[in-house]
Amino acid sequence: MMNSKMIVSILLLLTSFYSCYYDKAEELYPNTAINCDTATVTYAAVIKPIIDKNCATSGCHSDAYANGYDLSYYAGLEAVANNGKLIESIEQTGASPMPQGAPKLDACTIEQIKKWVNDGAPNN
């Protein structure tokens, strides 16, 4: 017969194996690029609201507080998109990481912006 310490150890070991299982990433992280709609990304419907919320109306990149880039209007954003600074900033890979002083944008938002930029940053 096994002693009680051995039985408890085996039960704890089995319990730890049971608790370590693989879940589907899309269920664990529903707001990631896995479930991200990039088929219908337009400036007016998707990009402008993202920029307004995270960049322009926050006071950092509006006309009054442009900090070098006024993203409150299309032409200002288009220039940053076309020179590569927008993607570098939101991916936080080279240019000044944005949004400054706030958490990095979620993966879906970054994918939507990248799609729009890669499509030529149209004013649609």
Helices (H), 44-84: 48-51, 74-82
Domain presence at residue 93: yes
Domain presence at residue 34: yes
pTM strictly above 0.95: no
Domain presence at residue 4: no
Contact criterion met (CB below 8 Å) for 97 and 105: no
When divided into structural domains, the chain yields a total of 1
Look up the domain containing 81 and give its range. 24-118
Domain presence at residue 110: yes
Domain presence at residue 60: yes
Per-residue pLDDT of the chain (124 residues), as tens digits, is 567 777 777 766 666 555 545 554 445 544 444 578 899 999 999 999 999 888 866 667 766 555 677 888 899 899 989 998 899 988 988 777 787 777 889 999 999 999 999 999 999 9
Domain presence at residue 85: yes
Give the pLDDT score at 33.
47
Domain presence at residue 6: no
Domain presence at residue 94: yes
Give the pLDDT score at 15.
62
